Structure 1
């Protein structure tokens, strides 16, 4: 599946000024790269970009849901990249780990009945994680990135980027936004999905 760059603009945010880049595939699916200090310039030639792959989460990112840690992760990442001065968020339109908003809410309903996030997906006949990451390559190639520090608790994202030909210099953990509503969700991601997190 091919992805192409469409347009770019400045985006002032509560965390500072970003460049927003929009990409699209043949099926008109849109993905966003939010960057600071890219492509690498003379002032930051010695910096390895700090990168986060963040899949869309309407309930978390827009409505500040406490059922997940998506919104705190997104905001913390935006602040970290601004402070670091060189990096990007790859905001992928893969709602609900790739199952879509409708199925995500159906899974939430099953979680309300006592099932964990993984069990809920499987009960709906859906994969635990349906996301794909091939679009990361044209997005990072567009801003001249070949080696990264990746901000993630998910070791699979490290493997995915390595498979796409990127050099991973460091994995930077990101544990924010733990609360009474998402503690079990995070524990499930650790115990059943291999995420490298400690939940206290």
Structure 2
């Protein structure tokens, strides 16, 4: 990894080789000393030099990547990007802790609750506006700093369906050679979400007509302390399709909480 070990507020902590379903990657770990968040770069091959570098800038999604939820396309895009870099033999995937388009897991849970309570008449972007949030609060300064630490100076071929992400990267003074869309088919369980993204300018196919119906109604609630635990606020409950097959997932309830004492965000699953 190129010196210096600290670029801006991003501290390079070293790299290890890790096996994945798409072959081995060198995983560089970083720590933002200002936000105390971790970031990672999964590197294949020598990404230095003048040749354009295949690149994916990916934001974390706990529900799809760790819980197996199928109401978004995040995990699918992650797998497709790693497969593309493996096929190219050279590239880098930046993995950033920017859950919920940078607003966090609690805001994401309230977004899903608002959308589901409206029976999908409200989009995810409208829900963020209703909460007083920017529709996409992600920032990509960490990518620019990580590129400098890794010695990536060539233009990037960005694996994304989002022209707004390309513009945001360019605002960080990163050169983008082209945007290469990640084609993923919609499922009945993420059809509403992908249609909202398509309508907002993402490069996606036409909407599916067979979007899945919720198994039961969802109520839009206000934050409230748990009985006997006044420092723990319950902030949202929504329905999450997880596990099983893409055609027949299991619906569970996801509850989101804020621990006022530790300022931690927490989630719990119920049912099944």
Calculate the TM-score normalised by the size of structure 2: 0.68
Which structure carries more relative contact order (alpha carbon 8 Å, separation 6+)? 1
The 8 Å contact of residues 47 and 91 in structure 2, kept in 1 or not, is answered as no
Aligned partner (choices 4, 12, 22) of residue 19 of structure 2: 12
Aligned partner (choices 128, 131, 137) of residue 130 of structure 1: 137
Aligned residues between the structures: 195
Write the distance in 2 (CA, Å) between the matches of 1:177 and 1:18: 26
Larger radius of gyration: 2
Write the distance in 1 (CA, Å) between the matches of 2:169 and 2:12: 19
- CA drift at 1:183: 1.4
The 8 Å contact of residues 38 and 144 in structure 1, kept in 2 or not, is answered as no
Write the distance in 1 (CA, Å) between the matches of 2:43 and 2:69: 25
Which structure is higher in helix share? 1
- CA drift at 1:11: 0.7
Q: Equivalent residue for 1:80?
A: 84
Would you say 1:112 and 2:112 are equivalent positions?
Answer: no
- CA drift at 1:196: 2.0
Aligned partner (choices 48, 52, 65) of residue 48 of structure 1: 52
- CA drift at 1:39: 3.4
The 8 Å contact of residues 47 and 92 in structure 2, kept in 1 or not, is answered as no
Aligned partner (choices 58, 64, 69) of residue 68 of structure 2: 64
The 8 Å contact of residues 38 and 143 in structure 1, kept in 2 or not, is answered as no
Write the distance in 1 (CA, Å) between the matches of 2:134 and 2:84: 32
Do the aligned partners of residues 145 and 92 (structure 1) sit closer, same or farther apart at CA in structure 2, a change above 3 Å counting? Answer: same
Q: Equivalent residue for 2:197?
A: 189
Write the distance in 1 (CA, Å) between the matches of 2:185 and 2:10: 33
- CA drift at 1:168: 1.5
Q: Deviations over 1:149-199 (max 9, x none)?
A: 1111111221122222222212101121411111121111121x2212223
Q: Equivalent residue for 1:23?
A: 30
Write the distance in 1 (CA, Å) between the matches of 2:92 and 2:106: 29
The 8 Å contact of residues 122 and 128 in structure 1, kept in 2 or not, is answered as yes
Which secondary structure state, in structure 2, belongs to the residue aligned with residue 109 of structure 1? helix
Q: Which runs of 5+ in 1 are unaligned?
A: none
Which structure is higher in strand share? 2
Q: Equivalent residue for 2:233?
A: none
